[in-house]
Amino acid sequence: MESPPDSKALGVAYQIPRNSLALLMIAQVVVVVPYALQLSPWIIGVGLFCGYWRTAVFQGRWDYPHRWVKAMLVGASVVGVAVSGVGAFSLESAASLLILAFALKLIEMKSRRDAYLVIFLGYFAIATQFLFDQSIAIAAYELLAICVVTSAMVGLNQLHTRVRPGVSFRLASTLVLQALPFTIVLFLFFPRIAPLWTVPLPSVAKTGISDVVKPGAIAALTQSDELAFRVVFNGRIPVPRDLYWRGLVYSDFDAGTWSVAAELPPMSKERMPEPTSGGISYEVLLEPTMSDWLFAMDTAFAQSPQVSLSQDYRLRSTDPVLSVFRYPVNSYPGFVMDPVLSRRLLTRETRIDRSDNPRIVAFARDLYARSGNAEEFAVGVLKHIREQPFGYTLNPPQLQDEGSVDQFWFDTRAGFCTHYASAFVYMMRAVDVPARMVGGYQGGEINPITNHLMVRQYDAHAWAEIWVPEKGWLRVDPTAAVAPERIESGLTAALSVADLATLSAFTNARLGDWSVFNDMLYWVDSMEHRWNLWVIGYDTHFQSGFLKRMLGELTPVRMGLVILIGGGLSVGLVSLTLFWRRRPQKRHPVERLFGKFAAKLAGYGIRREPQESPGVFIRRVAAEAGLKEDQVGRIVAEIDGLLYNPTVPSESVELSQLRRRLRWLQFRLAFGSAR
């Protein structure tokens, strides 16, 4: 026999069903909308306009775009992305192009093949959204978006004369729901590996901290209440004044600007062994910063292979932090950083251009001459700040590039942490005491629900470190001298009424005493925290930890086996729902009861003839056993009454009464036959 030809030879309906088309247009809007937060508005506009165009084509009001119109749209879009200011190789430009391709493909879509392309682009756009934001809210939204896109795909394969979009959506949602168990299995057990190559990053840094600080330039510090990181302590949470989250070290000063010095090779873990006692153990869940700075308390040691220790005792991540990054840390407050300072660092940490700010250099030399040593000199400077009319404000007057330190110290005398830290370090260096500015966060708020510490962008802080032989680097916070409340109880305590007014209403509400609102925020925060712990922060490191606890030793065979078993169970579960057929109607409860009774009697050798009805059988055996008619007549009447009543519930008073009577009869018959 000749083999059947390929099915492609058979005509396949290639048109897109109207039902699927409608769903595709809905899907387009659903997918594009969340990008409004990341991409320029015109891209969203183009996306929605294309959706409108396609709807008009669908309704027969407009025509498909002409070929040259399409070419023009594509050209204009690419040029638009190129000139829109985001970096050419940034994640934003890639996402912009993706959204534009998705939108433009939609208007020219005619065949099924086009529809599948649009659907796949839709899935891709949904996944790309997670590179910008992985919060619970976005995750829930995108799950819905996946259902909508999937329903368009379902619609392509349903009989289009019958099906309405709602039907396709319901089926798609069921499918997504049924896919969830195996998704979880894969999520937990699919091996996570380290990045293979570098990828375009989002161009916007999210953090309120940067590697360049210019105290005079910022008129007002942005006070965002965005979360910087959460910390889970394994023991007690230290008091607020000890919570200095060190992240950046600024060693270079030039023209009023502090910047992070050129990179030195990281410290080797062999040369710098971790102390064995006196540590504070905790885990940090850092929100994406798009950079490699990590924040921890002094002096931090992290055993994770993805974290390294720099020569200025900062923790660094091996890759930029693009999504929530978890790292466990042990901090040793008593550890001496650099008991001996290398010549190279000595030069680096004392280098300033003294000619820039001659007044403060003279002031420092004078005070140092009276103090005698570095530590006493530092105390003297703090005393000076405390005693002189220095003020703490978030809205300081602007300073010139040249002589900015002089200007601050002698003229304006108002500023926030970086002004004080900068002036302090400058004075130290002016008398050749090694000193540097440190940036990071200070303090934090405890969430009573999950008992973790929340550190927000408005907790950003800068302080100073001076080096003293044998004692190493010592932390000095000049801000504490001008506004001790800032360190003891957080930002608001240190702020004037005028400063508070500049904060957003939301931040004020958060900082205020409105407890219902705060409780709600705590609850939301703890949900996000759990989400970060179990979903977003579930990376290579934590997967191996979790799997070792679950499976013991990790071998590829074991992992594969777990995934296979998980897959089998999930498929089995779904096939149950798909292939399960309702079993035939249950037997009548009285029949079941009588069946058991007859079986018991058969055990005593009393057999029921096939043609005998329950009543007839009972009368016969009762007569054979010599029982009287009035003793069994009631049972027979009851059985017959119940047997022909189709609505007997499986548990009822009558039924249990009958059960008792049958048991009595069974006993009598057994006793009788034994005799």
Partner 1 sequence: MTTAQSTAQSFFSRRFGRFLDRRIPPSAQITLSQRNVFIFPTQTGFVFGGLLVLLILGAINYQASLVYGVAFLLGSMFLMTILYTFRNLSGLKLELINTRPGFVGEDIEFTLRVVRPTGRGREGVQLGWPDGIKQWAELYEQEADSVRLYVVGAERGFLNPGRLLIETYFPLGLLRAWTWVDLDARALVYPKPIFQDFPLMEQGRRDEGELMDPQGSDDFTDIRDYQPGDPIKHIIWRSYARTDELMVKRYASFVEPRLWLDMDSVQGALEERLSRLTGLALQATRREREFGLRLGELELKPAVGEAHLENVLRQLALYGITTR
User: Could you say which residues in the range 146-175 bind partner 1, by CB under 8 A?
Assistant: 146, 150, 153-154, 156-159, 162-163, 171, 175
Smallest separation, CB 159 to partner 1 (Å): 6
CB 297 within 8 A of CB 244: yes
Q: Which amino acid is at 50?
A: C
Q: Which is nearer to partner 1, 79 or 535 (CB)?
A: 535
* DSSP codes of every residue in 537-581: T--HHHHHHHHHHHHSS--HHHHHHHHHHHHHHHHHHHHHHHH--
Told to check if 593 binds partner 1 by CB under 8 A, we report no
Tokens 């508070």 belong to which residue? 500
Site size toward partner 1 (CB under 8 A) is: 71
Q: How many CA atoms lie within 13 A of 26 on its CB side?
A: 21
For partner 1, the binding residue among 190, 644, 664, 671 (CB under 8 A) is: 190
Q: What angle do CA 652, 668, 597 make, to 5 degrees?
A: 45
Q: Which is nearer to partner 1, 200 or 672 (CB)?
A: 200
Told to check if 4 binds partner 1 by CB under 8 A, we report yes
Q: What is the footprint of partner 1 within residues 351-410 (CB under 8 A)?
A: none
For partner 1, the binding residue among 196, 557, 653, 674 (CB under 8 A) is: 196
Where does this chain touch partner 1 (CB under 8 A) — which range of 182-190, 521-529, 615-623, 635-643?
182-190
Q: For 509-538, give one letter per residue: b (16+ CB within 10 A) or e.
A: ebbeeeeeebeebbeebbebbebbbeebbb
For partner 1, the binding residue among 192, 386, 548, 634 (CB under 8 A) is: 192
Told to check if 141 binds partner 1 by CB under 8 A, we report no
Q: Which is nearer to partner 1, 239 or 578 (CB)?
A: 578
Catalytic residue among 461, 525, 529, 541: 461
Q: What is the footprint of partner 1 within residues 539-568 (CB under 8 A)?
A: 539, 567
Q: Is 612 helix (H, G, I), strand (E, B) or coil?
A: coil
Smallest separation, CB 193 to partner 1 (Å): 6
Tokens 């994406």 belong to which residue? 288
Q: Which is nearer to partner 1, 33 or 139 (CB)?
A: 139
Told to check if 142 binds partner 1 by CB under 8 A, we report yes
Told to check if 182 binds partner 1 by CB under 8 A, we report yes
Told to check if 674 binds partner 1 by CB under 8 A, we report no
Smallest separation, CB 544 to partner 1 (Å): 14
For partner 1, the binding residue among 139, 446, 554, 625 (CB under 8 A) is: 139
CB 619 within 8 A of CB 668: no
For partner 1, the binding residue among 22, 48, 101, 176 (CB under 8 A) is: 176
Smallest separation, CB 541 to partner 1 (Å): 11
Smallest separation, CB 124 to partner 1 (Å): 7
Smallest separation, CB 147 to partner 1 (Å): 10
* DSSP codes of every residue in 181-199: HHHHHHHHHSPP---SS--
Catalytic residue among 147, 406, 417, 541: 417
For partner 1, the binding residue among 322, 476, 547, 662 (CB under 8 A) is: 322
φ/ψ of residue 472, rounded to 5? 75, -150
The distance of Cα 125 from the centroid of its chain, to the nearest Å, equals: 18
Q: Which is nearer to partner 1, 284 or 662 (CB)?
A: 284
Q: Which is nearer to partner 1, 185 or 425 (CB)?
A: 185
Contacts of 128 (CB under 8 A, 6+ apart): 94, 95, 98
Contacts of 370 (CB under 8 A, 6+ apart): 380
Q: Is 308 helix (H, G, I), strand (E, B) or coil?
A: strand
Q: Which is nearer to partner 1, 194 or 501 (CB)?
A: 194
Burial class (CB in 10 A: 0-12, 13-18, 19+), 346: middle
Smallest separation, CB 473 to partner 1 (Å): 32
Told to check if 2 binds partner 1 by CB under 8 A, we report yes
Q: How far is CA 452 from CA 283, 405, 572, in A?
A: 10, 39, 40
Q: Which is nearer to partner 1, 195 or 448 (CB)?
A: 195
Q: How far is CA 41 from CA 32, 38, 53, 80, 246, in A?
A: 11, 9, 18, 12, 37
Where does this chain touch partner 1 (CB under 8 A) — which range of 96-104, 445-453, 499-507, 576-584?
576-584
CB 434 within 8 A of CB 466: yes
Give the whole-angstrom CA distance, residue 32 versus residue 30.
Answer: 6
Q: Which is nearer to partner 1, 234 or 318 (CB)?
A: 318
Q: What is the footprint of partner 1 within residues 87-126 (CB under 8 A)?
A: 112, 116, 120, 123-124, 126
Closest CA to 461 of 482, 486, 484: 486
Burial class (CB in 10 A: 0-12, 13-18, 19+), 84: middle
Told to check if 187 binds partner 1 by CB under 8 A, we report yes
Told to check if 130 binds partner 1 by CB under 8 A, we report yes
Q: Which is nearer to partner 1, 5 or 610 (CB)?
A: 5
Give the whole-angstrom CA distance, residue 18 versus residue 656.
Answer: 60
Where does this chain touch partner 1 (CB under 8 A) — which range of 48-56, 176-184, 274-282, 383-391?
176-184
Cα torsion through 158, 163, 164, 168, rounded to 10: -40
Smallest separation, CB 186 to partner 1 (Å): 4
For partner 1, the binding residue among 75, 85, 166, 195 (CB under 8 A) is: 195
Catalytic residue among 338, 477, 499, 525: 477
Strand 414-415 and strand 391-392: the pairing is parallel
Q: Which is nearer to partner 1, 119 or 598 (CB)?
A: 119
Told to check if 579 binds partner 1 by CB under 8 A, we report yes
Told to check if 193 binds partner 1 by CB under 8 A, we report yes
Quickly count: other Cβ atoms within 10 Å of residue 450's Cβ. 18
The distance of Cα 111 from the centroid of its chain, to the nearest Å, equals: 38
Build a one-symbol-per-residue string for 520-539: x at contacts with partner 1 by CB under 8 A, - elsewhere: ---------------xxxxx
Contacts of 479 (CB under 8 A, 6+ apart): 392, 416, 417, 420, 421, 461, 462, 463, 486, 487
Per the structure block, which two tokens stand in for 451? 């008992």
Smallest separation, CB 192 to partner 1 (Å): 7
Q: What is the footprint of partner 1 within residues 210-269 (CB under 8 A)?
A: none
Q: Which is nearer to partner 1, 128 or 673 (CB)?
A: 128
Q: How far is CA 275 from CA 331, 334, 336, 465, in A?
A: 9, 10, 11, 22
Quickly count: other Cβ atoms within 10 Å of residue 376's Cβ. 13
Smallest separation, CB 131 to partner 1 (Å): 5
Q: What is the footprint of partner 1 within residues 11-40 (CB under 8 A)?
A: 11-13
* Whether 50 is catalytic: no
Active site residues: 417, 461, 477
